[in-house]
């Protein structure tokens, strides 16, 4: 893998961000709105529930972590969409750039943009609503890592979907986090779900993060098996997503879709 | 003149369902040579170029760039090629210099800043350095695309109608520059154009494609007379209207 080629992909997105307020503002505005909204909801719930349960780490912390996962996914897909929107595939894929280098470039771009969102969310949640990441202990690090990897996997899968189905399919990608959230127990324990949803939840890494989070808030330690399973699943999803993207790319090159991408279909 | 081949295409084939777009095409381009790939719309020129660039998989045959197989060692092969085409403009939301910087990194160009300065000067783009490509005129965009193509000093330069949107004076200037680049011995050029006068001026050799097959091959200055035509344009018309009278549809090497 050539670092300069990865840097080229990242540099392109840096140039785009640097010159465009319309790209910079959405990096943190929607995440900030979410934190403010859920911050007031948790404050209200704390007032109603009394001292029995602190909703700030349980609910606001979970919202923050889930938003982070969503921002990572959108960071990858948005960087990919920039090449869709500017019809850049021909220029890009006729260079020595390998698919791995391209995907790594998208992930690095997303790491930077999602870090901006995380910092803004943390500043608001801590400064206004008193959330502290220290409440979760060091376990927050593997939690963030798992969500990051799952966000990367969703982003690559979403990009693959758009590469396969054409530019209009981007509208399938935006709601993916909302579609996944009921299954992963962001707001409630998995035991709340009907059995078939629980089976699906066990296949999704964020389920292990949010179950672990609730254990910590209840004063227990997050079991190592929970962390290991969640991390292994997250890595597996990234590998699966890269495999799917590679298959889709080769299909696009075989069918001629890559050189006639704006047609959306070559049949 | 023709020495070591920098581009070697053997038995290239591309099929879409039952339609054969490129059929058993073979040719070579040597260092220092400009080869014209001619033919009517839909003859398979752009399909051939897309396969050489690795963005379209072939249904058969091999492509070697600088001796390296495009399938087996894609990155290494593509590092030696570059292209310019009207249907692949540089991203309009970056400036000319930003685009050149990004593509320079993708191709691993050494002393990139100096090289960017050199191609900007070569294609008279210095004043447009910080202008977004999307607001350039079509002629300026073509020059920016050519600057990107030559930025990497490719061994194989693929030009798909490079002067289509240029005024005659600029087109002439571009032809001179590309010709000089090839004559420096650094590269072979594969050039498609519908302007037969341009082809006659620039190309050492032409390949006539019709229905995905190479119908004729030869020197653009002598080929028309060999087939009883006065000009290359007359020969082109004949290729379009009566291809069966001109060649056996066989491939050429």
- Select the residue of B75, B92, B102 nearest A98 (Cβ to Cβ): B75
pLDDT tens, position by position, B48-66: 999 999 999 999 999 999 9
- Select the residue of A2, A89, A254 nearest B108 (Cβ to Cβ): A2
Question: What ipTM was estimated for this complex?
Answer: 0.90
Whether A251 has its CB under 8 Å from any CB of chain B: the answer is no
Is residue B250 over pLDDT 60? no
Whether A16 has its CB under 8 Å from any CB of chain B: the answer is yes
Query: What is the average pLDDT score of chain B?
Result: 90
What pLDDT shows up at residue B237?
86
Is residue B249 over pLDDT 50? no
Whether B107 has its CB under 8 Å from any CB of chain A: the answer is yes
Give the mean pLDDT of A179-186.
95
Judged by CB atoms closer than 8 Å, whether chains meet at B56 and A253 is answered as: yes
Q: Which residues contact A247 (CB under 8 A, 6 or more apart)?
A: A160
Whether B57 has its CB under 8 Å from any CB of chain A: the answer is yes
pLDDT tens, position by position, A119-176: 999 999 999 998 888 778 888 899 999 999 999 999 999 999 999 998 888 889 999 9
Judged by CB atoms closer than 8 Å, whether chains meet at A86 and B53 is answered as: no
The pLDDT confidence band at residue B191, using thresholds 50, 70 and 90, is: very high
pLDDT tens, position by position, B9-31: 999 999 988 889 999 999 999 99
Judged by CB atoms closer than 8 Å, whether chains meet at B55 and A15 is answered as: no
Judged by CB atoms closer than 8 Å, whether chains meet at A96 and B78 is answered as: yes
Specify whether the backbone of B90 is left (phi greater than 0), alpha (psi in -120 to 50) or beta.
beta
Alpha carbons B94 and B100: distance in angstroms, whole number = 10
Judged by CB atoms closer than 8 Å, whether chains meet at A5 and B106 is answered as: yes
pLDDT tens, position by position, A203-221: 999 999 999 999 998 888 8
Is residue A226 over pLDDT 70? yes
| Contact residues, chain B, for A96 at CB < 8 Å | 74-76, 78-79, 106-108
Judged by CB atoms closer than 8 Å, whether chains meet at A97 and B91 is answered as: no
């Amino acid at each position: 893998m050539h670092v300069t080629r990865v840097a080229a992909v990242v540099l392109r997105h840096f140039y785009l961000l640097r010159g465009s307020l319309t790209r910079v503002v959405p990096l943190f505005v929607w995440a900030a709105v979410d934190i403010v909204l859920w911050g007031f909801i948790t404050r209200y719930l704390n007032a109603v529930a009394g001292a029995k349960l602190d909703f700030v780490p349980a609910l606001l912390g979970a919202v923050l972590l889930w938003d982070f996962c969503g921002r990572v996914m959108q960071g990858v897909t948005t960087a990919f969409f920039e090449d869709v929107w500017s019809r850049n595939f021909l220029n890009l894929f006729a260079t020595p750039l390998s698919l791995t280098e391209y995907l790594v470039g998208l992930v690095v771009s997303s790491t930077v943009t999602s870090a901006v969102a995380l910092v803004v969310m943390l500043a608001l949640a801590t400064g206004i609503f008193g959330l502290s990441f220290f409440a979760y202990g060091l376990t927050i690090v593997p939690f963030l890592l798992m969500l990051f990897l799952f966000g990367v996997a969703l982003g690559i899968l979403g990009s693959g979907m758009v590469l396969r189905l054409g530019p209009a399919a981007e509208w399938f990608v935006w709601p993916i986090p909302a579609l996944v959230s009921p299954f992963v127990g962001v707001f409630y324990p998995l035991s709340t779900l009907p059995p078939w949803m629980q089976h699906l939840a066990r296949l999704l890494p964020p389920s292990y993060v949010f179950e672990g989070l609730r254990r910590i808030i209840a004063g227990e330690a997050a079991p190592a098996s929970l962390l290991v399973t969640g991390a292994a699943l997250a890595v597996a999803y990234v590998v699966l997503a890269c495999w799917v993207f590679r298959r889709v790319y080769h299909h696009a090159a075989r069918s001629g879709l890559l050189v006639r991408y704006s047609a959306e279909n070559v049949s | 003149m023709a020495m070591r081949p920098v581009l070697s295409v053997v038995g290239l084939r591309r099929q879409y369902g039952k339609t054969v777009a490129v059929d058993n095409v073979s040719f070579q381009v040597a260092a220092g040579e400009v080869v014209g790939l001619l033919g009517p719309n839909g003859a398979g020129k752009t399909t051939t170029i897309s396969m050489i660039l690795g963005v379209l998989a072939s249904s058969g045959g091999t492509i070697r760039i600088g001796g390296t197989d495009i399938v087996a060692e894609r990155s290494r092969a593509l590092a030696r090629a570059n292209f310019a085409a009207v249907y692949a403009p540089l991203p309009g939301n970056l400036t000319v210099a930003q685009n050149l910087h990004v593509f320079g990194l993708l191709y691993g160009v050494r002393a990139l800043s100096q090289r960017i300065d050199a191609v900007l000067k070569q294609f008279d783009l210095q004043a447009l350095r910080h202008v977004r490509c999307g607001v350039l005129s079509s002629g300026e965009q073509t020059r920016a695309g050519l600057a990107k193509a030559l930025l990497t000093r490719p061994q194989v330069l693929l030009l798909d109608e490079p002067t289509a949107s240029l005024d005659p004076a600029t087109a002439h200037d571009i032809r001179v520059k590309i010709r000089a680049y090839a004559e420096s011995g650094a590269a072979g050029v594969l050039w498609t154009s519908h302007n037969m006068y341009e082809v006659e001026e620039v190309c050492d050799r032409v390949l006539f494609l019709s229905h995905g097959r190479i119908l004729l091959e030869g020197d653009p200055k002598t080929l028309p007379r060999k087939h009883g035509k006065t000009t290359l344009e007359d020969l082109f018309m004949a290729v379009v209207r009566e291809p069966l009278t001109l060649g056996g549809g066989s491939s050429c090497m």
